[in-house]
Amino acid sequence: WEKNIMNGDKVAVVLATYNSEKYIDQLLQSLVEQTYDEFICYIHDDESRDNTKVIINDYKLKYPEKFKILEYDKLCYVLRSR
């Protein structure tokens, strides 16, 4: 695993969120600030009723190559293919 990371392979991070506005900004910012920046983060929000989606969309707009928002059918595909 470490050998693949050293070769520049991307790390896939999959997040499922629901009403996470208190924590999601800190979590996503910590990913952005990692020293190893070859990652892609797939995020599925389960119809949050707070500002979780707004925060996630802000990160997607700011870092489009790093954050992808998944609908339910795409989430199932990603989980099966990993």
Query: And the tokens for 8?
Result: 């520049």
pLDDT at 82: 54
pLDDT tens column, 9-35: 788 999 999 999 999 999 999 999 999
For CA atoms 47, 70, 78, 22, the dihedral sign is negative
Q: What is the rounded distance in angstroms from the CA atom of residue 82 to the CA atom of residue 72?
A: 16
Quickly count: other Cβ atoms within 10 Å of residue 25's Cβ.
16
Give yes or no for residue 5 having a pLDDT over 70: no
pLDDT at 9: 77
pLDDT tens column, 38-82: 999 999 998 899 999 999 999 999 999 999 998 765 555 555 555
pLDDT at 1: 43
